[in-house]
Amino acid sequence: MKKVAIIEDRYRRQEQFLEKNCINLDDYSDILENFIEEKSLNLVEKIVNNIYSDLKDFEIIICHKSIYFDNKNTEIIDNLKAF
C-alpha cells in the first residue's frame, strides 16, 4: 500500500524541482503515488466535491498551496485539511 500522495497540477514545476535537486520519484514508487497531469485534475475535481475515495489509504498528502482548479485553490486546500 502506498503511503504518500503528491498532487501536482503543474507538472513542469515539479519536474524542474526534481531535476534541480537530483530526485527520482521512481525510487519511491513502492510508497508514493504522484498525481500529475490528467490524474491530478481528476483528483482535484473530486476534492472540490468532497470525494476522497482515491485518498483514503494514504497517510500523507502533499499538495502545493497554489494548486489551481477553477479559481478554487483555497477551497481545495481547506477540503484537504478537513479530510
The predicted-structure confidence for 71-81, as pLDDT tens digits, reads as follows 788 889 999 99
* Residue 38, domain extent: 4-82
What span, in angstroms and rounded, lies between the C-alpha atoms of 69 and 77? Answer: 11
* R_g (Cα) of the chain, nearest Å: 13
What mean pLDDT, rounded, does the chain reach? 92
The pTM of the full predicted model, rounded to 2 decimals, is: 0.86
pLDDT on residue 15: 95
Number of domains in the chain: 1
Say whether pLDDT at 5 is over 80: yes
What span, in angstroms and rounded, lies between the C-alpha atoms of 32 and 38? Answer: 17
pLDDT band at 46 (very low <50, low <70, confident <90, very high): very high
pLDDT on residue 48: 93
